[in-house]
Chains A and B, each alone.
Chain A
Amino acid sequence: MQSIVIQPEFESWRDAARRLLLRGVPPYEVVWLDEPGEQGLFPTGASPRETITPPEPADRVPAAFLDLARMVSAHDDPRRWSVLYAVLWRIVRGGERHLLGMPTDRDVRLLDQWRKAVGRDLHKMHAFVRFRLVEGEEVGGREAYVAWFEPQYRIVRLASPFFQKRFTGMDWSILTPEECVHWDGESLHYTPGVPRTEAPAGDALDDLWRSYYKSIFNPARLKVRAMQAEMPKKYWKNLPEATLIRDLITGSGSRVEGMLGTEGREEKPAPKNAYLEKLAERNAGQSSPEEEGQ
């Protein structure tokens, strides 16, 4: 039996797993532990991928497994390292090359659930990050923005490429409690996490955004449960529009009653307009698809 202590990230696990695999150590002989107190950060922005030269494994690992493992690594379940290794072992040494194609396998299902949870967190981060303009920080004509976000899992590195591709033309930082990422137009840098107070509290545009949110809401179709299923309350504290939700819900009943109680308006005659007149002529002469038997 041996204990493997790793930094809680994909690259550390992968390197350790490769060594174990090469030495033929079966899963039941390994105990995986997260390095205590180690955040696994590389303050200069150097990616661990560049600093470690892994040994070449003799056995080929399917690319689909590596993609899955990269996602699962971001999860916080302490069992993830051992389940990943067990599945890797079965694929490479256990003659189960098709294992990932078996959705009924217990370990595969577990990995899939973790991947889904991380994927959802990632998706919500792409959706709910709110950038705030930092006035007076323009460098070379580029605007600078800062966002604060609290992801559930360690997904900052997984989430960054999306923001890089989308917001190429502006400088931005996303600050989180565990790790921060910065874009300067040329490359992504990572720094250790910071407290929330480091991020700007609001943006001048937030009010305009709230006006939009309020106006696009239709009080006659209240579906609070559907909203909360997709935008759970835990995200509300960092969404500028969320402060309106309560009042919009409580005010909707009387707004609908008001509409239903309004008397129907009379028709107004068409104004004099050449285009409308032509249209009326065309309409009178046009057959409808039903009449053509469509």
Chain B
Amino acid sequence: MTLQEKLEILADAAKYDASCASSGAARKDSRGSMGVGSTGGAGICHSYAPDGRCISLLKVLLTNACLYDCHYCINRRSSNVRRARFTPEEVVRLTLDFYKRNYIEGLFLSSGIIQSADHTMEQVIRVARLLREEHQFRGYIHLKTIPEASPALIEEAGRYADRISINIELPTQQGLTKLAPEKNLARTQEAMGHIRGKIEERFSEKRLPGRPKPPPFATGQSTQMLVGADDATDATILQRADTLYTGYRLRRVYYSGFSPIPEPSKLLPLAPPPLVREHRLYQADWLLRFYDFKVGEITTPEAPNLDLALDPKLAWALRHRERFPVDVNRAPRESLLRVPGLGVRNVDRILQARRYGRLRLADLLRLGLAMKKVLPFIEAADHTPIKLGLDDVKLRERFLPPAQQLELNFDPPPPSAEDDRSVRSGEL
């Protein structure tokens, strides 16, 4: 098999993993070395595919042969997909060649499980070791690890990688038992706890004068959860994400709408979930991480799934109209963050600007706010919104996408351009 054929199979096998971030690594570069590579600061997307996803890393599997039988996965043992396997040296070569042409920020390496978890991890680690030690590669490396691999191997992987991850896959053990019978939620979280400890050790360096430096370790861990493959509600998904953020200090949880694959399983729904669901989950995720929202505010027992037609912050505001309008000249930061359409950046600019005078609508316009969305919820020096005493239905209608779109097509609306932007920037 040629290298090109292998690349096609093993990139195709890796594309269902949504994470591509190359940000948040420690600052390092190639000055003073014979090699190439730098990391630190925001990662760079070197290209975009027509699916709108950022291409920042060479994302491949070492092999797509796998002992496991995860039903949503093209590489599971029951799939008839063509199998291929890179040698570690081939991946090293590809990474360096792509990197030097500025196609990529680095490597995201994962693998189907062959022989055993430890054997698989050893192969993956070998690639990272060759890159770092033989080629002085200082670019980004993200390694996927296996919860069942021995802790010593996970630690070794973390020494070479900027980011390591274990996919949680589904938010409940019931879901896993049905769709990924080899996987176990408790073991995954236990491994995440171990990684968390290592990451914290790394950052505690400064607090221990006189003690030997702990070995270098990845600066963060992330995970991916599949959406729409089982019947878990958004509330369940967000609850799990919240546990991972608070209990395990994950950098990012990626939500990946289950996507049809060429080798479908009998156990899976035929139709994929609407793409907009994944969008709403990302928006809710930003609310959890940066806007001080609790899961219980975003979803409720009566409505455990997010409103597909409205972003979750707007949906929350419409349920809590008694908390508006918020006065942009007086309200504390927490209240401003609750205003639909006011993102973290804009809130900070408002706080800065109002130190020098009372803000009027013209000032807000100059700040570049999404006025149409913001106006009903705020008060400014020269603006009081018409009381939000409109009845429920009407107020909601104001924010819905144009009606004819809904009539012609009974599907939930596709994510709007504004949604796309908010998911990327986190400005809600």
Contacts and interface: CB of A to CB of B under 8 A. Distances in A.
A214 B264 contact: no
B133 interface: no
B277 to A, nearest CB: 13
Given A131-B100, A168-B31, A290-B173, A211 B265 contact: no
Interface string A257-272: 0111011111110110
A183 B102 CA distance: 15
Contacts, number: 246
B30 A165 contact: yes
Contacts of A218: 15-16, 49, 51, 53, 259
B37 interface: yes
B77 A271 contact: yes
Interface in A153-196: 162, 164-170
A166 B264 contact: no
B50 A165 contact: no
A212 B364 CA distance: 45
A170 B50 contact: no
Dominant secondary structure at the B interface:
loop
- Counting chain B CB atoms within 10 Å of each CB, which of A102, A128, A220, A226 scores highest? A226
Contacts of B349: 103
B38 A166 contact: yes
A103 B80 CA distance: 59
A65 interface: no
- Counting chain B CB atoms within 10 Å of each CB, which of A128, A231, A268 scores highest? A231
Given A248-B50, A271-B67, A169 B272 contact: no
B352 A205 contact: no
Contacts of B363: 104
A130 interface: yes
A89 interface: no
Contacts of B102: 129-131, 147, 167
Interface size class of B (residues with CB under 8 A): 35 or more
A213 interface: yes
B356 A168 contact: no
Contact of B32 (A168, A248, A270): A168
Contacts of B417: 225, 229
B11 interface: yes
Contacts of A227: 48-52
Interface in A244-294: 245, 248-249, 252, 256, 258-260, 262-268, 270-271, 273-276, 279-280, 282-283, 286-292, 294
B261 A259 contact: yes
Contact of B50 (A215, A223, A256): A223
A217 interface: yes
A265 B80 contact: yes
Given A104-B366, A260-B260, A267-B69, 20 more contacts: A103-B366, A130-B103, A167-B100, A169-B34, A205-B97, A215-B15, A217-B15, A218-B259, A219-B51, A220-B259, A225-B420, A226-B52, A231-B48, A259-B261, A264-B265, A267-B265, A280-B182, A282-B184, A288-B174, A289-B185
Interface of A: 98, 101-104, 106, 109, 123, 126-133, 143, 145, 147, 162, 164-170, 203, 205, 207-209, 211-227, 229-231, 239, 241, 245, 248-249, 252, 256, 258-260, 262-268, 270-271, 273-276, 279-280, 282-283, 286-292, 294
Interface of B: 3-4, 7-9, 11-12, 14-16, 29-38, 44-55, 58-59, 67, 69, 77-80, 94, 97-98, 100-103, 115-117, 136, 139, 148, 172-174, 181-182, 184-187, 189, 243, 257, 259-268, 270-272, 275, 349, 352-353, 355-356, 359, 363, 366-367, 417, 420-421
15 contacts: A103-B349, A165-B30, A166-B29, A168-B32, A216-B55, A217-B50, A220-B259, A225-B52, A260-B260, A262-B263, A267-B266, A267-B267, A286-B187, A289-B189, A292-B186
